[in-house]
Chain A
Amino acid sequence: DAKTTQPNSMESNEEEPVHLPCNHSTISGTDYIHWYRQLPSQGPEYVIHGLTSNVNNRMASLAIAEDRKSSTLILHRATLRDAAVYYCILRNSGGSNYKLTFGKGTLLTVNP
């Protein structure tokens, strides 16, 4: 699986936007970029995914670089409930096995 690189930790203030970066320089043309987050003592939770174009949903936005070698997860107004570990994962579109390869992710701290 292609590898992703994320900062170990980031800090934000409540109600401010948060930009979580991810580098994936070895991404292939058929790799989708997925983001999951894991709140304390919970299982991971799907956030968003995309291939080439920027994506928006009720939780977040995903901005994908033109060369697809990096992406940024954007939380428009951070709340205390957004404090979690955020994982950027590449998943190949082929096959029916939705196996996910997690790295260590970015621990997001949100200050009140």
Chain B
Amino acid sequence: DTGVSQDPRHKITKRGQNVTFRCDPISEHNRLYWYRQTLGQGPEFLTYFQNEAQLEKSRLLSDRFSAERPKGSFSTLEIQRTEQGDSAMYLCASTGKTVNTEAFFGQGTRLTVV
């Protein structure tokens, strides 16, 4: 296992278009997290899955954002009707079932809305 994978690494889209990002966590990890990071800021929590259940959503996750984790494996994050303010790095992380000592992060998807 090579760690948490995110696809694509970069995405440029026009305002108003929909975009979808994918995250493949470490295979034995049942917990998955999405974060958003803008320039000069630390990552901000968006949402958390335990297996296929979405257990927590931040107020940052507006109605235009939706995340899924079918079958408790990979996850997708969709943004509908993108706005320039959505431009950011979107990070995915996963943690295991037992003692949660650390989170493993992917390299992120950088979204630019033009």
Which of A's residues lie within 8 Å of B, judged by CB? Answer: 34, 41-46, 49, 85, 87, 96-105
Q: Which residues of A contact B101 (CB under 8 A)?
A: 46, 49
* Closest CB in chain B relative to A103 CB, distance in Å: 5
Size range of the chain B interface in the assembly: 20 to 34
Q: Is B50 an interface residue (CB 8 A)?
A: yes
Q: Which residues of A contact B95 (CB under 8 A)?
A: 98
Q: Is the CB of A103 within 8 A of B42?
A: yes
Q: Is the CB of B91 within 8 A of A100?
A: no
Q: Is the CB of A104 within 8 A of B50?
A: no
A interface, over-half SS:
loop
Would you mind naming 17 contact pairs between A and B with Cβ atoms under 8 Å apart? A42-B107, A43-B105, A43-B106, A43-B107, A44-B43, A46-B102, A49-B102, A85-B42, A97-B31, A97-B50, A97-B55, A99-B33, A99-B48, A100-B103, A102-B43, A102-B44, A104-B42
Q: Binary interface profile of B, 75-114, with partner A (CB < 8 Å = 1, else 0)?
A: 0000000000000000101010000111111111000000
Closest-by-CB residue of A relative to B43 is: A102
Q: Is B45 an interface residue (CB 8 A)?
A: yes
Q: Is the CB of A104 within 8 A of B100?
A: no
* Closest CB in chain B relative to A33 CB, distance in Å: 12
* Closest CB in chain A relative to B84 CB, distance in Å: 22
Q: Is the CB of B45 within 8 A of A101?
A: yes
